[in-house]
Amino acid sequence: MNVAEYKEFDGLGLADLVASGEVNATELLDAALKAIERDNPAINAAISNLELLARKPVEQGLPDGPLREVPFLMKDDEFLVEGTTSTPSCRLLESWTANHDSTLTGRFRQAGLNIVGMTNVPELAQQPTTEPLLRGPTRNPWDTNRSAGGSSGGAAAAATAGLVPIAHATDGEGSTRIPASCCGLVGLKPSRGRNPSGPDRFTLAGGTICPHVLTRTVRDTALVLDAVCGPDTGDPTICPPPVEAFRDWVGLPPEPLRIAVAAEPPEGLSLDREVDTSFSKGCHLLESLGHHVEPTHPNLDTRRLMNAFFDVCSADRWLFLHRVAAVLGHTIRASGFEPTTWDFLQRGASVSGEAYIDAINVFNAPSRTMGTFHEEWDLILSPTMASIPPPLGRMSSGDPMAVARREMTAFAPIANITGQPSISLPLGRTEDNLAVGMMFTAAIGREDTLLRIAGQLEAAAPLPRLAPPKADRKTGWPEVWMSSSRNENFLALVPQTLDGGRADRNHPVPARNLPQRGMGRLSNCGLVIGRSLDVNVVVYNESEGNCANLFD
């Protein structure tokens, strides 16, 4: 099987080839690794090569699950893969090696998925765009000057580029649905408690984070949900079990649904013209399919909710980091983080126990409001984002209420707060062929309704979901762009283009080849000094408080 043939199939399609004996696990693994080798450098989606770990189950025989031998990428976040380093793009965690699989990881394996690598995330998975200084930005395969979204941006870019058909994702502020919208994928955030988060933590960020996958087809999304759903032992939050297999709902057209259209963005924002156009076309399509579509929305105090949301999430991340740092013997200080991350952590450090409990209690009211609302309305429809995928480098402020961030997270986080299932579907394209997502949200436990409408729309309005490969003269897995030294003083460098994006890396200078002295908060440097062809390199020495041109 060559790379082009491999990319033609979704996960179930590849599994069917395996079941029929047309291909075997070694051929699939080789095709995936060749796809990554050839196409990943242009998008920087996969950041850790687990080929040796992937070869072992192939030799021993993978479990006989519904996706047996299908290549798969894990998100570099809190869901652990035994024997691998999990950093969330944070230098402080570079020596954090997992000694066990997370429950969800084990269920992915039992489904037959073969983990071949890890995907890129923003530092500590705290941004709706994937542009970490540690590993560089992930690029949108449809336009490599634009964001692939975040925090599951690496996963989205990998699936869209065909590196794998299915990639692990998590959704804490729209972190699955936003990348799905940016890259033209199916992105489901399941109901709270549907998929396990253990065994290390009962809940993630007050139950706002829900894990699942990003896929190119609705049937893959449903099939993985069947394979991994259900509580872990002792889980405090358990979602009602499905009446039937989720896969069985795909392709079964729903009866006419009552769909509430909530397309008004939060105060101070407006919909991008092309988002508005695509959204209007989507509403007309739904009406043509027999659904009742009407502008209305639940009455929510979104500003109060979002303030409570950021209190809970920042405090959770601060506590998590302190615990891991204590185990690793590290000290938490500003110079070890990107400025936006440090600002977020400082907010978490300032949240008192009383304020945290108050914030959790704030979550209670909208959950009940939504429950009542869904007694009349089957679904809530909104754009996934208020904007098209933004240019790389635009997300420079750590303020969660900054305009650029709010445009990307204008609609998605409410479902994280209430625990509802929500799905982004690729139902629109801009004039420049960028993807535009539409987001459907259902009552808790009603993923079946989402999958039925998703399957119907997928058949009625098929759009391209596999981006063509981008030319890049380098091949292989990305280099680590910062020294891994633990020394207090070491040199770091940032490749940049003149507009603030990442260079194409035709002339990289690995940090390991440089003297180790002084690591600073690089964006505070504020200068682009020196130029070698199309690559600018900034070197910032914090201990000396200056910048230097690498090519003097």
**Across 390-401, average pLDDT:** 75
Report percent pLDDT > 70 for the chain. Answer: 84
**Statement to judge: residues 137 and 96 lie in one domain:** yes
Structural element, H or E, at residue 15:
helix 11-20
**Statement to judge: residues 456 and 499 lie in one domain:** no
Write down the pTM of the prediction: 0.87
pLDDT of residue 444: 97
pLDDT of residue 399: 62
**Across 233-255, average pLDDT:** 93
Residue 161 has pLDDT above 80, yes or no: yes
How many distinct structural domains can be found in the chain? 2
Extract the tokens encoding 272.
Answer: 């991008």
**Across 294-311, average pLDDT:** 95
Q: For 538, which DSSP code?
A: E
The mean of the pLDDT values for the chain is 86
Instruction: With respect to residue 151, please indicate whether it lies within any of the assigned structural domains.
Output: yes
List the catalytic residues: 75, 151, 175
**Statement to judge: residues 86 and 178 lie in one domain:** yes
pLDDT in tens, 538-548: 333 333 333 33
Domain span at residue 384?
A: 3-300+366-460
pLDDT in tens, 341-383: 999 999 999 999 999 999 999 998 999 999 999 999 999 999 9
Instruction: With respect to residue 338, please indicate whether it lies within any of the assigned structural domains.
Output: no
Residue 285 has pLDDT above 50, yes or no: yes
Name the band, by pLDDT with cuts 50, 70 and 90, for residue 233: confident
**Across 87-91, average pLDDT:** 94
Instruction: With respect to residue 289, please indicate whether it lies within any of the assigned structural domains.
Output: yes
Instruction: With respect to residue 174, please indicate whether it lies within any of the assigned structural domains.
Output: yes
Direct distance between the N- and C-terminal alpha carbons of the chain, in angstroms, rounded to an integer: 48
**Statement to judge: residues 455 and 507 lie in one domain:** no
pLDDT in tens, 316-350: 999 989 988 998 999 999 999 999 999 999 999 99
**Statement to judge: residues 544 and 410 lie in one domain:** no
Q: Tell me which amino acid residue 466 is.
A: L
CA dist 146 and 3 (Å) reads 25
Instruction: With respect to residue 249, please indicate whether it lies within any of the assigned structural domains.
Output: yes
What's the Cα-to-Cα distance from 537 to each of 137, 224, 306, 433, rounded to whole Å? 15, 43, 37, 32
Q: Provide the CATH number for the domain around residue 218.
A: 3.90.1300.10
DSSP class per residue in 395-409? -----TTSHHHHHHT
**Across 225-251, average pLDDT:** 94
Of 442, 460, 478, the last residue of a domain is 460
State the number of CA atoms in the 13 A half-sphere of 16 facing the CB.
7
pLDDT of residue 395: 79
**Statement to judge: residues 41 and 133 lie in one domain:** yes
pLDDT in tens, 164-181: 999 999 999 999 999 999
What's the Cα-to-Cα distance from 509 to each of 49, 131, 500, 529, 539, rounded to whole Å? 21, 19, 18, 15, 11
pLDDT of residue 469: 86
Higher pLDDT, 484 or 268: 268
Higher pLDDT, 412 or 404: 412
241: burial class by Cβ within 10 Å (0-12, 13-18, 19+)? exposed
CA dist 325 and 149 (Å) reads 28
**Statement to judge: residues 497 and 383 lie in one domain:** no
**Statement to judge: residues 168 and 124 lie in one domain:** yes
**Statement to judge: residues 500 and 443 lie in one domain:** no
Are 386 and 271 in contact by the 8 Å Cβ rule? The answer is: yes
**Statement to judge: residues 386 and 455 lie in one domain:** yes
431: burial class by Cβ within 10 Å (0-12, 13-18, 19+)? exposed
**Across 398-425, average pLDDT:** 90
**Statement to judge: residues 18 and 116 lie in one domain:** yes
**Statement to judge: residues 157 and 201 lie in one domain:** yes
